[in-house]
Structures are given as C-alpha cells and as structure tokens.
Amino acid sequence: MRRVLLAMSGGVDSSTAAVILKDQGYDVVGCTMQLWDYRRNPQKDGKPQFGRCCSLDDVYDARRVAEKLGFPYYVINLQEQFERTVIEPFITDYLEGKTPIPCTRCNTFLKFDQLLVFARKIGIDQVATGHYARVSRQPGQDYVLMKSRHPSKDQSYYLFELTQEQLASIQFPVGGYEKSKVREIASSSGLGTAEKEESQEICFVPDGNYGRFIERHAGEVNKNLLPILEKSAQPGPILFKDGAPMGTHTGVYKFTVGQRRGLGIAHSRPLYVLRLNVQQNTVTVGYREDLYSQGLTADRVNWVSGSVPEDPVKARVRIRSRHQEAPATITLNRSNGSGWQARVLFDAPQMSVTPGQAAVFYQGERVLGGGWITGRI
C-alpha cells in the first residue's frame, strides 16, 4: 500500500485531504508542525493569545481526525527552524522597509523541506497538504504547478519557490475541489472540523500588530537586530509626495506600501503610503492614483515549471495573494551569483507594487515561476 505523510493544521482542508487520500487507498500518516511557542505572545485576560492556526486546539482537532479515520499521528517540533527561516527574515524584512510573506517561506523551508526529510526518515516518499493547488505531469515531461479549481481559494501564489524534486513528492488532494465540496466531504465523514473557521491572520501574530511583534521578539531571535530596531524606531518625518512635511512617524517598520489607516494625518483626501526609505527614515504619502506603477523589478526568480521560458515572456503576473493577475511582458537577466532577475512591464499600470512581496508568473492555469519584488518601475 502506498504511504503518504499528511501535514495537518487542524482545519477542514487538511482533514478532508485525509478522507480523500484514504478513499484513494493510501496508508496515511498524519503530522502537525509545532512552529511557535504561543506563551511568547502578548496575554489577554491572563492567557497568551492564539492564532487560528497551529494552536493547541488545532493539534487537538487534528489528532481527533486521525483517531476517527484510524491512522497514526505525530507532532513534530520545528520551532528552532521556524524561528531561523521564517521569523528572523520576517523581522529583518520589515526593518528594511519591505513587506514579507512568511507563508511562502514556511512552505519553502518547512512544509516541503523539513517535512520531506521527516517523511523519508520513516520510510515515506510523499507529502500531502491541504493547499488549494494542483500538480500535473505528462509522461516524460516536467512536473507542473497549477492553480486550484476554486479560483477564490487558490494558493499557488505561495508555492512558486518549489522545485521539480519537491513537486515530484507532493500531493494536494483538495486542489481539485470547491470549498463547499470540501466541507461537504468533511461533514459526511463525521469530522468535527467540517464547519471550522478559516485562518486569516499570520499564525504567530494573532492580533495583527506586526510592529509590536517586531519590538517584542527582534532581540530574542537575533541580538544583532537590536541596534537596527533601535535606529528604525527613531521618530522621522512623514512627507507628502512633493517633499512637504505632513507629520511624524514612530518607526518605518510599522508601515507598508498601500497603507491608508493609522497614518495619523488629517487631510482633505485619503492618503496612502507610497514609499518607505529606511536610510533617510522617511515615510512618503500621496493619493490613491499615485500608487500605480507601470512595472516592477524582481530577483531570486525561481522557475517552478522546471525550464526557463524564452525571453521575453508573455504572462499574467500576480503581485499579491488576492491580486487579479495582470498581463505583462517579462524580460530576464542572470547576474553573477544572485540567480535570475526579472523586469516586468504591465500592459496597464498596477496598484501597490510592494517590495518584499512576490511577483508570480502564470500562463493560463500553469505557474511558470516567480520572484521577490525589489522595486517599482
């Protein structure tokens, strides 16, 4: 019987994935990654705050599903790796004026790296998750990462850094289903997670206050970040797009491009963050129309499709997880030591191109690859 290690979050998607895999004849082994010690979070009513993902309740829910469906279940402690590969870069990026995507790094370095290592240690060569995405392959050809059949739930954006070797060992059982069908399968199987709410926030910042999280944990994860934090926390000017002073900020890392709320500025029109300059300690604001860019630059481009397309590339590009892909022309450059770089020119200007986010390239339902946004054009 074929064996598969199923990553279980305690939610309905990974629970339903277990049902589908069992129905397909797999010998399922479940596991949950213990990534974050929630005792490190701010307390509310004398208790630490938990996110809707990876909490003790989620572990309990995942274990109950495994017991009901009759397969073994493990909890794997990956807190040290999570802090090194996700938390520290998350804090560093904010201190550098970027807006990171920790979920992508978690997928790249933990779910589809460390879990594969664990799987192989116990004699399993396949890992499955509850992601809304698909993997396909024609005989003798490369593996292809594809969008979910449920467009509004598609998570392929977060998976662009995967390799051909990883795609060969991954399954996404719910990727071909609508969310309503996933819940229906869970309900008909008698799973208590059938109507469980979805996780929306970043799991290790349940209150959504990134600035407070950075201040609380920067020194814990790397003491070398403390002087950078101290410098970044110095008050500085909020400037209008023409350079006129508008107010004062208390830390560039507390802002992100496109932000409208929490600026503390009274103005006749809504203002948005346009740029962050860590070196000059400035936050520049302007109007909504000022957020539009004709293009972007990206580095560390990964071709998850397995082959580098012919330059220039015509594709649709997604610049945020919920961004509607926009047609664009991509030109490529390979610089010494830093891998592929891309210059993306959109057919029509796009809003809020944000350094630190990903630009992911699609042709139809197929994911070609993607890179990390370094600037706007």
**CATH code of the domain containing 271:** 2.30.30.280
Q: Kindly report the backbone phi and psi dihedral angles of residue 90, in degrees, each rounded to the nearest multiple of 5, phi listed first.
A: -60, -50
**Active-site residue, from 53, 54, 103, 203:** 203
Q: Are residues 113 and 246 in the same domain?
A: no
138's tokens: 């024609």
Q: Rounded to an integer, what distance in angstroms lies between the CA atom of residue 14 and that of residue 20?
A: 10
Q: Is 7 helix (H, G, I), strand (E, B) or coil?
A: strand
Residue pair 8/14 in contact by the 8 Å Cβ criterion:
yes
Q: Rounded to an integer, what distance in angstroms lies between the CA atom of residue 351 and that of residue 286?
A: 13
Q: Are residues 309 and 282 in the same domain?
A: no
Q: Are residues 244 and 306 in the same domain?
A: no
What letter would DSSP give residue 16? H
To which H or E segment does residue 185 belong? helix 179-188
238's tokens: 């909020």
The domain of 116 spans 3-130+173-188
In a domain, 340, yes or no: yes
Q: Are residues 349 and 253 in the same domain?
A: no
**Active-site residue, from 53, 54, 103, 106:** 106
Question: CB within 8 A of 258, min separation 6: which ones?
Answer: 272, 273, 291, 351, 352, 354
Q: Note down pLDDT in tens along the chain; length 377 residues.
A: 799 999 999 999 999 999 999 999 999 999 999 988 766 666 565 555 555 556 778 888 999 999 999 999 999 999 999 999 999 999 999 999 999 999 999 999 999 999 999 999 999 999 999 999 999 987 778 899 999 998 889 999 999 999 999 999 999 999 999 999 999 999 999 998 888 887 666 778 877 889 999 999 999 889 999 999 998 899 999 999 999 999 999 999 999 999 998 888 888 899 999 999 999 999 999 999 999 999 999 999 999 988 888 889 999 999 998 889 999 999 998 765 667 899 999 999 999 999 999 999 999 999 999 999 999 99
In a domain, 225, yes or no: no
Cis geometry, peptide bond prior to residue 312 (ω within 30 degrees of 0): yes
- Strand extents, DSSP E, the chain: 3-7, 27-34, 43-44, 47-48, 73-77, 127-128, 133-137, 143-147, 170-171, 236-240, 245-249, 272-277, 282-286, 292-302, 313-318, 326-335, 339-351, 358-363, 366-376
42's tokens: 């701010």
**CATH code of the domain containing 182:** 3.40.50.620
**Residue 106 bears catalytic tag:** yes
Last-in-domain residue among 286, 305, 326: 286
In a domain, 151, yes or no: no
Number of domains in the chain: 3
In a domain, 306, yes or no: yes
Question: What angle (nearest 5°) sits at the alpha carbon of residue 187, between those of residues 184 and 190?
Answer: 150
Q: Are residues 271 and 348 in the same domain?
A: no
In a domain, 214, yes or no: no
Q: Are residues 262 and 297 in the same domain?
A: no
Q: Are residues 252 and 363 in the same domain?
A: no
Q: Which amino acid is at 252?
A: V
Q: Rounded to an integer, what distance in angstroms lies between the CA atom of residue 349 and that of residue 206?
A: 34
To which H or E segment does residue 179 belong? helix 179-188
Q: Are residues 11 and 115 in the same domain?
A: yes
In a domain, 19, yes or no: yes
In a domain, 162, yes or no: no
**CATH code of the domain containing 346:** 2.40.30.10
Q: What is the pLDDT of residues 178-190, one digit of tens each?
A: 999 999 999 999 9
Q: Are residues 327 and 356 in the same domain?
A: yes
Q: Are residues 323 and 354 in the same domain?
A: yes
**Residue 103 bears catalytic tag:** no
In a domain, 140, yes or no: no
Q: Are residues 268 and 371 in the same domain?
A: no
Last-in-domain residue among 248, 263, 286: 286
Q: Are residues 303 and 344 in the same domain?
A: yes
